[in-house]
């Protein structure tokens, strides 16, 4: 795998990806793709983005040697890529800044987004406040209930939150409604998708904007360790924080890549969000990729304690990396993630979001007393503030007092 | 022989209805009623869990149909059964690509061959259609083209080059069941399309009443109309009273057949 060069011009990662949308959206996607190609070569655009990364987000994010966790594992040397220190508390802001600059360039005057955990919603509302654009966030009513702090944040930032009552009332349905909004308001609206999902060019564009994570991590680890890491680990919902970390390392054969999905109550139960472990290839939200579906191609509802991973699909590039065996994907249950959430808090003094807690759980499960002398970078892509109530409830702590 | 190649030259009426709505057995009665009026075209919607291009009414009908666990196979069987008593009407399936993919494209085509004259794959754009279109062509099933107000002339020319059956012109940017109709804009776009193709151009999305149908006929050069959401809406208006629903469908279809 010398020169990784995906996707092709039609947005295909191998067989996966593509543009499966109605004709109303096709001209927009083509326009978006062309505009995106232009700004990639636009020095002014890139400079503006870099400046925002530095002074608004606080990049580069630190690479922290998690000594206590490493000692606990008695195995590899673990580094955290600390994107949870970003402004707004997760990696989502990287992508939102890129997309809103693009929206501005394209002369769009209205922003929409979907959100699950609310992190992407908060990041979108934040950049809209910064650039003075009206912002409409679609959010499943189930997620509104379990991510209340983020709902309030978005409101403070001036966003209009539209509760979604259809389907499972979570991320998938929020995305359906956002797509419908876009179909209705094609002329003035820019849809900021929050993950490496959806039709081309989103999976590629979001990956590119997020790949600042991997680029930094690469420089940082080379400086500290004088060599590349042996493993990368990241959680996978739609797959943006994971692709952001993985992408700059894909050509490095020796770097082993691990994606961790949310297996909810267990990968063999009906209450899972582990798309690549339990799903089959199909089409959801404009893209061909692994999805959780029944024998008739009806999309199943996902389940995860983490609203950000509660999605029955996954970005097409992950499906491709799985099939060509460049990356391996594993599922972690709600319970395992909750344990890791607590362990990381105690050992490292870092309260992680429930999403990267899944990556942590896999690390703890798979690397205890193993891989001594190896180095691992784990993407700590979000902080746990937003999950305090959910976690307290699940652990049995009365947080209302 | 394909019935879509023998459509009348004017005032074509195409009626959309979701398969399995409200239940599989009632659905048969709904279609029997619709087909008894011999519309030029009937569009069978296959219910899908995530109908991203559909408005709330068709979404709801899909959801209700899926609640009674209708399968793709049952929908296709229903369509084949209806075909036996319907000589005049052209049969068209409208669905999302995942339904066909999961069934198996070859299998799906085998099932609908000689039953269905055309298919509308809502989320299969021109850029992705090639292999499926070849298979459909071989089996004399027309892949119906959707054109939206966002489609510019250069693009519509490419799309319509090999188009067969009819052109489905989406009359407003929007999802099915949206409400604004701008006849001037529609007519301008329809005229432009008619320069690019000889097959009929039908206007769909947002047509709700006899008044709308008359207005399209009077104010535009469109060859006909497609009505969907309005047929389903009645069911909810009548508080899901099935007997009353059938009666109101009858009255409505008589009205819109102009
Ligand atoms: C902190 C955090 N991590 C991960 C995710 C999952 O998204 P992705 O897989 O695109 O990184 C989310 C989504 O909301 C999130 O908030």
| Tens of pLDDT, residues A332-377 | 999 999 999 999 999 999 999 999 999 999 999 999 999 999 999 9
User: Does a structural domain hold residue A231?
Assistant: yes
User: Does a structural domain hold residue A401?
Assistant: no
Q: For residue A339, give both structure tokens.
A: 């344990």
Decide whether any atom of ligand 1 lies within 6 Å of the A241 Cβ.
Answer: yes
Q: Which single residue is written with the structure tokens 């009665």?
A: B29
Contact residues for A67 (Cβ-Cβ < 8 A; gap 6+): none
On whether both A289 and A276 belong to a single domain, the answer is yes
* Cross-chain Cβ contact A23/B178 below 8 Å: no
- pLDDT tens digits, residue range B117-142? 999 999 999 999 999 999 999 999 99
Size of interface A-B (CB pairs under 8 A): 114
On whether both A151 and A78 belong to a single domain, the answer is no
- Alpha-carbon distance values, A128 to A122, A131, A361 (Å): 10, 5, 34
Q: For residue A180, list chain B residues with Cβ-Cβ distance below 8 A.
A: 52-53, 55, 175
On whether both A236 and A379 belong to a single domain, the answer is yes
CA-closest candidate to residue A125, choices A168, A80, A162, A169: A162
User: Does a structural domain hold residue A19?
Assistant: no
User: Does a structural domain hold residue A238?
Assistant: yes
Q: Which of A198, A288, A298, A300 to mutate to test binding with chain B, by most B CBs within 10 Å of its CB?
A: A298
| Cα A233–chain centre separation | 13
State the ipTM, two decimals: 0.94
Nearest residue CA, atom 1 of ligand 1? A382
Residue A189 C-alpha, separation from nearest chain B C-alpha, in angstroms: 13
Q: Which of B18, B52, B157 to mutate to test binding with chain A, by most A CBs within 10 Å of its CB?
A: B52
HSE-CB for A215 with a 13 A CA cutoff: 10
Find the B227 Cα to ligand 1 centroid distance in Å.
Answer: 41
Mean pLDDT score, B224-249: 97
Q: Are A231 and A260 in contact (CB under 8 A)?
A: no
- CA gyration radius, chain A: 19
- pLDDT tens digits, residue range A261-302? 999 999 889 999 999 999 999 999 999 999 999 999 999 999
Which one of B40, B43, B117, B223 is the catalytic residue?
B43
Q: Is the pTM of the predicted complex or chain greater than 0.90?
A: yes
CB atoms within 10 A of CB B93: 26
User: Does a structural domain hold residue A16?
Assistant: no
Give SS3 for A240.
helix
pLDDT confidence band for B179 (50 / 70 / 90): low
pLDDT confidence band for B239 (50 / 70 / 90): very high
Q: Are A144 and A163 in contact (CB under 8 A)?
A: yes
Q: Is B43 tagged catalytic?
A: yes
Which of A178, A206, A234 is where one domain is finished? A206
User: Does a structural domain hold residue A273?
Assistant: yes
- pLDDT tens digits, residue range B216-231? 999 999 999 999 999 9
Residue B176 pLDDT exceeds 60: no
Give CA torsion, residues A347, A350, A351, A354, to 10 deg.
-90
Q: For residue B48, list chain A residues with Cβ-Cβ distance below 8 A.
A: 297-298
State how far the Cα of A372 lies from the Cα of B91, in Å rounded to an integer: 66
Give CA torsion, residues A342, A348, A353, A355, to 10 deg.
-80
Instruction: Kindly give the parts of chain A with pLDDT less than 70.
Output: 1-2, 399-401
Q: Is B33 tagged catalytic?
A: no
On whether both A314 and A363 belong to a single domain, the answer is yes
User: Does a structural domain hold residue A171?
Assistant: yes
What pLDDT was estimated at residue B171?
81
Candidates A20, A180, A298; nearest CB to B49 = A298
Q: Are B155 and A27 in contact (CB under 8 A)?
A: yes
CATH number of the domain residue A48 falls in: 3.40.50.1100
Decide whether any atom of ligand 1 lies within 6 Å of the A302 Cβ.
Answer: no
State how far the Cα of B66 lies from the Cα of A301, in Å rounded to an integer: 14
What pLDDT was estimated at residue A285?
97
- CA gyration radius, chain B: 17
Mean pLDDT estimate for chain B: 95
- Strand B12-18 relative to strand A256-264: parallel, antiparallel, unpaired? unpaired
On whether both A223 and A131 belong to a single domain, the answer is no
Residue-range domain boundaries for chain B: 10-252
Nearest residue CA, atom 4 of ligand 1? A355
What pLDDT was estimated at residue B25?
96
Q: In a mutational test of the pocket of ligand 1, which residue from A83, A90, A122, A314 has the highest number of ligand atoms less than 8 Å from its CB?
A: A90
Sign of the Cα pseudo-torsion (A384, A213, A249, A279, in order): positive
pLDDT confidence band for B178 (50 / 70 / 90): low
On whether both A44 and A138 belong to a single domain, the answer is yes
- Alpha-carbon distance values, B126 to A186, A221, A282, B183 (Å): 19, 46, 19, 27
Which of A150, A178, A206 is where one domain is finished? A206
Q: Which single residue is written with the structure tokens 């081309």?
A: A200
On whether both A36 and A162 belong to a single domain, the answer is yes
- Strand A189-191 relative to strand A231-235: parallel, antiparallel, unpaired? unpaired
What pLDDT was estimated at residue B205?
82
Find the A242 Cα to ligand 1 centroid distance in Å.
Answer: 9
Nearest CA in chain A to B174: A184
On whether both A278 and A309 belong to a single domain, the answer is yes
Q: Which single residue is written with the structure tokens 């099915």?
A: B176
Nearest residue CA, atom 5 of ligand 1? A308
Q: For residue B221, give both structure tokens.
A: 């050069």
Q: What angle do CA A117, A119, A123 make, to 5 degrees?
A: 155
> Does B174 touch chain A if contact means CB atoms closer than 8 Å?
yes
- Alpha-carbon distance values, A103 to A112, A128, A139, A391, B150 (Å): 11, 11, 21, 36, 18
* Cross-chain Cβ contact A296/B124 below 8 Å: no
Range of the domain at A173: 25-53+92-206
Give SS3 for B67.
helix
On whether both A162 and A288 belong to a single domain, the answer is no
On whether both A98 and A221 belong to a single domain, the answer is no
Which of A162, A190, A206 is where one domain is finished? A206
State how far the Cα of A279 lies from the Cα of A290, in Å rounded to an integer: 6
The tally of domains found in chain A comes to 2
Of the CATH numbers 3.90.1170.10, 3.40.630.30, 3.40.50.880, 3.20.20.70, which one belongs to the domain with range B10-252?
Answer: 3.20.20.70
Q: Are A133 and A100 in contact (CB under 8 A)?
A: yes
Give SS3 for A202.
helix
Contact residues for A34 (Cβ-Cβ < 8 A; gap 6+): none
User: Does a structural domain hold residue A373?
Assistant: yes
Q: What is the DSSP letter of B161?
A: T
pLDDT confidence band for B180 (50 / 70 / 90): low
- Strand A375-379 relative to strand A77-81: parallel, antiparallel, unpaired? parallel
Find the A366 Cα to ligand 1 centroid distance in Å.
Answer: 22
On whether both A377 and A336 belong to a single domain, the answer is yes
């Amino acid at each position: 795998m010398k020169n990784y060069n995906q996707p092709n011009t039609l947005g295909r990662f191998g067989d996966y990806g593509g543009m499966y949308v109605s004709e109303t959206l096709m001209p927009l996607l083509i326009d978006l793709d062309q505009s995106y190609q232009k700004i990639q070569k636009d020095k002014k655009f890139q400079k503006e983005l870099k400046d925002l990364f530095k002074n608004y987000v606080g990049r580069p994010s630190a690479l922290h040697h998690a000594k206590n966790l490493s000692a606990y594992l008695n195995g590899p040397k673990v580094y955290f890529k600390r994107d949870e220190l970003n402004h707004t508390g997760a990696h989502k802001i990287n992508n939102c800044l890129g997309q809103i600059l693009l929206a501005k360039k394209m002369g769009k005057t209205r922003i929409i987004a979907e959100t699950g955990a609310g992190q992407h919603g908060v990041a979108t509302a934040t950049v809209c406040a910064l650039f003075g654009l009206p912002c409409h966030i679609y959010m499943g009513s189930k997620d509104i209930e379990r991510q209340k702090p983020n709902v309030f944040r978005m409101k403070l930032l001036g966003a209009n939150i539209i509760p979604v009552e259809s389907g499972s009332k979570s991320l998938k349905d929020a995305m359906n409604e956002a797509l419908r909004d876009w179909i209705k308001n094609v002329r003035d609206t820019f849809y900021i998708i929050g993950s490496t999902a959806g039709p081309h060019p989103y999976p590629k564009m979001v990956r590119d904007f997020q790949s600042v994570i991997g680029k930094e991590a690469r420089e940082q680890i080379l400086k500290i360790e004088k060599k590349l890491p042996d493993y990368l680990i990241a959680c996978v919902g739609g797959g943006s924080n994971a692709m952001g970390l993985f992408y700059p390392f894909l050509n490095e054969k020796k770097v082993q890549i691990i994606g961790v999905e949310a297996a909810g109550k267990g990968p063999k139960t009906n209450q899972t969000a582990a798309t690549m472990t339990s799903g089959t290839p199909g089409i959801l939200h404009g893209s061909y990729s692994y999805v959780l579906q029944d024998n008739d191609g009806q999309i199943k509802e996902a389940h995860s304690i983490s609203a950000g991973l509660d999605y029955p699909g996954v970005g097409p590039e992950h499906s491709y990396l799985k099939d060509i065996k460049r990356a391996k994907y594993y599922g972690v249950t709600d319970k395992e993630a909750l344990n890791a959430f607590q362990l990381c808090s105690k050992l490292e003094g870092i309260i992680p979001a429930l999403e990267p807690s899944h990556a942590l759980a896999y690390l703890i499960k798979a690397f205890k007393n193993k891989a001594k002398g190896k180095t691992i970078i784990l993407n700590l892509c979000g902080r746990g503030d937003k999950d305090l109530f959910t976690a307290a409830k699940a652990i049995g702590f009365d947080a209302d007092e | 022989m394909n019935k879509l190649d023998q459509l009348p030259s004017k005032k074509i009426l195409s009626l959309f209805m979701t398969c399995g709505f409200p239940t599989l057995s009632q659905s048969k009665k709904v279609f029997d009623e619709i087909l008894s009026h011999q519309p030029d075209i009937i569009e069978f919607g296959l219910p899908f869990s995530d109908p991203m291009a559909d408005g709330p009414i068709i979404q709801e009908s899909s959801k209700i149909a899926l609640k009674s666990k209708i399968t793709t196979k049952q929908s296709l069987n229903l369509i084949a059964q209806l075909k036996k008593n319907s000589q005049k009407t052209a049969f068209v399936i409208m669905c999302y690509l995942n339904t066909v993919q999961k069934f198996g494209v070859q299998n799906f085509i085998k099932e609908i061959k000689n039953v269905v004259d055309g298919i509308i794959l809502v989320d299969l754009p021109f850029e992705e259609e090639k292999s499926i279109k070849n298979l459909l062509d071989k089996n004399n099933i027309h892949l119906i083209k959707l054109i939206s107000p966002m489609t510019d002339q250069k693009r519509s020319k490419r799309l319509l080059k090999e188009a067969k059956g009819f052109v489905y012109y989406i009359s407003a940017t929007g999802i099915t069941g949206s409400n604004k109709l701008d006849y001037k804009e529609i007519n301008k776009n329809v005229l432009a399309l008619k320069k690019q193709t000889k097959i009929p151009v039908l206007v769909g999305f947002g047509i709700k009443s006899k008044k709308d149908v008359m207005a399209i006929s009077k104010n535009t050069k469109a060859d006909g109309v497609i009505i969907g959401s309005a047929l389903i809406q009645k069911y909810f208006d009548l508080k899901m009273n099935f007997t009353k629903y059938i009666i109101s469908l009858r009255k409505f279809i008589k009205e819109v057949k102009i």
